[in-house]
Amino acid sequence: MKEKRLQLPLGNEAIEQLRAGDFVLLSGILYTGRDAAHIRMRDAIEKGEPLPVDLTGQVIYYVGPAPARPGQAVGSAGPTSAYRMDGIAPLLLDRGLKGMIGKGLRGAAVIESMKKNRAVYFTAVGGAAALISKSIVSSEVVAYEDLGPEAIHRYEIQDFPVFVTIDANGNNLYETGPAGACGAMKSAYGR
């Protein structure tokens, strides 16, 4: 399997080409957000307030990065379990979010919202946080600075490695079983 290269933000045309199991290298602008940032965004939506970033076409990485070492944009930046954002993800998908990056399973409501909104769920490999951080060229806090690592960051990324875990049609790599997931990894890494 050859990797696909995508430029962020994502449009529907790019999303429609993705299939569960694809290995993708993302480049462009990526936003971060975990539990606390999602709660604040949900509260803003419920109050009719604007979100701190325009989510149209954007991808959110569920990460709480470690502090950067000298000469690095970020420290270790591994994915967080995505299910923790499941209660709020459909609200953000309805506002134009086109992708999420995390690890682990997603709930049925998120998958239905992804199908409705033509969005995709990517998985970053857990345990590869130091490697992943090398794909992050720059980082800046853009909202909720008081949340520390859970603030919303704007990352500039280059060749950020992910797998399409759930595509816009609801096809789910986790449902294909270990053979599907392991086969995708072996193909992507040449092993």
pLDDT in single tens digits along all 191 residues of the chain = 578 999 999 999 999 999 999 999 999 999 999 999 999 999 999 999 999 999 999 999 999 877 777 888 887 788 889 999 999 999 999 999 999 999 999 999 999 999 999 999 999 986 676 778 888 999 999 999 999 989 999 999 999 999 999 999 999 998 876 555 545 544 544 44
Instruction: For residue range 69-81, list pLDDT tens digits in order.
Output: 788 888 778 888 9
Distance CA 119, CA 151 (A): 23
Q: Which two tokens stand for residue 20?
A: 């569960």
Q: Which two tokens stand for residue 168?
A: 């816009």
Query: In 28-176, which ranges are continuous DSSP H helix?
Result: 35-47, 89-93, 108-117, 129-133
3-state secondary structure 71-108: CCCCCCCCCCEHHHHCCCHHHHHCCCCCEEEEECCCCH
Quickly name the fold that domain 4-189 has. Answer: fumarase (3.20.130)
